[in-house]
Structure 1
Amino acid sequence: MTDHSHTLFQPSAQSGPIDGTRRRLLLALAAAPLAGTLSLLPRRASAAASTSVIEGRNLWLYPGWESLTDDATPACLKAVDLIHETTGKLAAHGIQSVIVIAPLKARCCAENLPDGMTMSAGVAARYDAMRSHATSIGLPLVNAVEAIAGVDAAQEKYIRADYHWSGHASEAVAARVAKRLTSAGPLKGTAGAGTRLGKWNEEVRYGDLAALLPPDRKKAVGKDHFIVRTAGAAAGLVDGGPPVVQVVGNSMVQPYLGFPQKLSNAIDRTVGLTWTFGDTGPWKTLLNYLESPAFKANRPQALVWQFNEGQMMNLPSAAGQWDAASVMADDAFLDRVSKAIA
């Protein structure tokens, strides 16, 4: 599977919904080329195809490969420890970190799960368990569940027949990250370099989960209304310089859904972006950035590292969960981090 990284999002060159980018996202499906959908589907989803899609109430779809009963909390806490060890290495070189874990769609939109389907007690408590553990070891972990809960009731929190959170939820989490960053102290860089946000716009297409269904069910579920920003005005005559903050993550933080733009707007600074598909995984994605010429040329003041709750139990060594090039021993991952930032 091809590994696509999108690096150095610059507010002065607004990133709008680019058709070519959306087509490339489909490579994460490892399935039929269905144009015009977003995708973050991991390897095991493509293997099971439509059988991995849960049809809920009101034509809502959920990813069936993310278990609602097997909490795997101990493995998730080990991942939090590894994240903490990694961010400690970054901090020793003057780079602060903020961690974002995108919650399960079922956690934020449980009201449309199928009748009789609920999260187990362990899964229900898992997100708070990770947050509590992060707090106890001093890891800055943003409460994305709380941020998304605050989205206006008139707006979707996750896209009905798609894996991803909505543009409004993405921006709500980005705003929470901005508060965490600015509360840690003054940001470097030039004020006035932040992204100018465009107006909300509606685009109609099939969600990525709908695209996995058989044709008759896909037609019955229908297309989604993606509410996303149009490209805003350029930042003006201010030269924002290199990114003060770098976002590293998966397609939850891609420009189409507005995360880097909102973060840049909220902190009024230039924000860089490195994102890859879900198959690459958060560990290799971070290495992609730290081992890149962009990092060597400019070390940011802060790094925002984004994960998915449904993959938190998978460490770098989780063979079968990441593409082959992304699997490595946990110690090898830390060694590469140390070498990259030395």
Structure 2
Amino acid sequence: MGRNMIAGVVAAAAAGWLSLTYAREAMTRAPAPTAPSSPSAQGQPAPVDIVEGRDGWLYPGWDYLVDERPAETASAIEQIVKMAEAARARGSRVIVLLIPNKARVHHDRLPEDRAAWTAQYADGFEQLAVRLRDRGIEVETVWPQFSPRDAHWTGEAGEAAARQLATRLAAFQRSKGPKLPVPRWVEERRLGDLAALAKSRGDLRWSEDVFQRRDYVPPIPGKPTVEVVGNSFIDTYYGFPQELSRQLHAAVEHRVSYSGQGPWRAMRDYLANGEPRAAVIWQIQETSVSSFTPGALP
């Protein structure tokens, strides 16, 4: 079996595993919902694990918005500042890569009650970025496309985020460094993680979707000066670290911890065990701030 075929099999297996790991841990660890902050606000829909939207779209029910959970968000902000300062004390430039929840990006396909509820909290994501910047944190926000029945961004969105971020890292670009080739797109059919979770409970309505990922290419060798830490969004399956490496013409390390609490675990692990890097990209999804606060880490 050739190296590319082996890589493809491994990638497909990893995708299924990381998707179900993320979904199942999120389902068991997400905190109870909070009530609306205003008595005149649209009432919150009943909590469910999987939200069924329009046109067959599925949303993770554990994805709370940062502005509907102010106490949890405030606590998470303090922890972001604390951990970023610890990384900077090791000589690292820290950039927080903020990813919004799927419900914000694809608001138009939410069911009517959840669309009305989400509309009440339309500004929270950008306000989170502003609050972090006011505390001295360098922040890059993205607005990615998500897969219809999966909790993650698409491979195209992961690569686009890497190209956007690379513009901030021009100082680390090696103009004469090795050039990573652009691999071909590989299509594979599988259940999205939310559809797979539904199937595990006996709901067989959902069919497999076509996902695109880049074929395997050997990474750029050498000692990394940039490290990306976060959860499954930065797994190589979605192409983010490879595309960032290709843009910088330099090796890029990535440290992944799966689930909603992954960004907290990954940064904690980097601070405890990782080699100091010149730059650390800390990927944090909105749900990691609102639903999976760092205080719940084991």
TM-score of the superposed pair, with normalisation by structure 2: 0.80
2:177 maps to amino acid: G
In the aligned structure 2, how far is the partner of 1:223 from the partner of 1:301?
Answer: 41
1:269 aligns with 2:277: no
In the aligned structure 1, how far is the partner of 2:92 from the partner of 2:66?
Answer: 37
- Indicate conservation of the 8 Å contact 1:198/1:232, yes or no: yes
Spell out, residue by residue over 1:136-188, the C-alpha distance to the aligned partner (whole angstroms, 9 max, x if none): 2221111112xx3xxxxxxxx11111111111111121112111222xxx227
In the aligned structure 2, how far is the partner of 1:22 from the partner of 1:143?
Answer: 25
Q: Which residue of 1 aligns with 2:283?
A: 306
Match of 2:208 among 223, 230, 236: 223
In the aligned structure 2, how far is the partner of 1:287 from the partner of 1:263?
Answer: 22
Match of 1:209 among 176, 191, 194: 194
Aligned-partner SS, 1:247: strand
Spell out, residue by residue over 1:223-273, the C-alpha distance to the aligned partner (whole angstroms, 9 max, x if none): 1111111123665xxxx4211110111001100010101111111111001
In the aligned structure 2, how far is the partner of 1:52 from the partner of 1:59?
Answer: 16
Cα deviation for residue 114 of structure 1 reads 1.6
1:113 aligns with 2:110: yes
In the aligned structure 1, how far is the partner of 2:223 from the partner of 2:255?
Answer: 14
Q: Which residue of 2 aligns with 1:169?
A: 157
1:211 maps to amino acid: A
Aligned-partner SS, 1:43: helix
* Long gaps (5+) in structure 1: 1-13, 32-39, 149-156, 319-325, 328-342
Cα deviation for residue 121 of structure 1 reads 4.8
Q: Which residue of 1 aligns with 2:241?
A: 260
Deviates more, 1:100-109 or 1:274-283: 274-283
In the aligned structure 2, how far is the partner of 1:29 from the partner of 1:310?
Answer: 12
The residue correspondences of 1:286-297 to structure 2 (distance < 5 A) are: 286-292=267-273, 295-296=274-275
In the aligned structure 1, how far is the partner of 2:200 from the partner of 2:259?
Answer: 25
* Long gaps (5+) in structure 2: 1-5, 31-46
1:166 maps to amino acid: T
In structure 2, relative to structure 1, the CA distance for the partners of 1:69 and 1:316 (3 Å cut) is closer
1:97 aligns with 2:94: yes
In the aligned structure 2, how far is the partner of 1:191 from the partner of 1:79?
Answer: 40
- Indicate conservation of the 8 Å contact 1:95/1:303, yes or no: yes
Q: Which residue of 2 aligns with 1:153?
A: none
Cα deviation for residue 122 of structure 1 reads 5.1
Match of 1:18 among 5, 11, 29: 11
Aligned-partner SS, 1:213: helix
Cα deviation for residue 66 of structure 1 reads 1.9
In the aligned structure 1, how far is the partner of 2:262 from the partner of 2:218?
Answer: 33
Q: What is the number of equivalent residue pairs in this alignment?
A: 275
1:316 maps to amino acid: P
1:111 maps to amino acid: D
Aligned-partner SS, 2:267: helix
- Indicate conservation of the 8 Å contact 2:174/2:248, yes or no: no
In structure 2, relative to structure 1, the CA distance for the partners of 1:105 and 1:128 (3 Å cut) is same
Identical counterparts, % of pairs: 30
1:315 maps to amino acid: T
In the aligned structure 2, how far is the partner of 1:285 from the partner of 1:215?
Answer: 28
In the aligned structure 2, how far is the partner of 1:69 from the partner of 1:103?
Answer: 10
In the aligned structure 1, how far is the partner of 2:293 from the partner of 2:150?
Answer: 25
In the aligned structure 2, how far is the partner of 1:122 from the partner of 1:260?
Answer: 35
In structure 2, relative to structure 1, the CA distance for the partners of 1:100 and 1:59 (3 Å cut) is same
Question: What RMSD in Å do the two structures reach over aligned CA positions?
Answer: 3.0
- Indicate conservation of the 8 Å contact 2:50/2:61, yes or no: yes
Aligned-partner SS, 1:134: helix
Task: List structure 1 segments (4+ residues) > 3 angstroms apart after TM superposition.
Answer: 14-17, 67-70, 119-122, 188-191, 214-219, 232-235
In the aligned structure 1, how far is the partner of 2:75 from the partner of 2:173?
Answer: 33
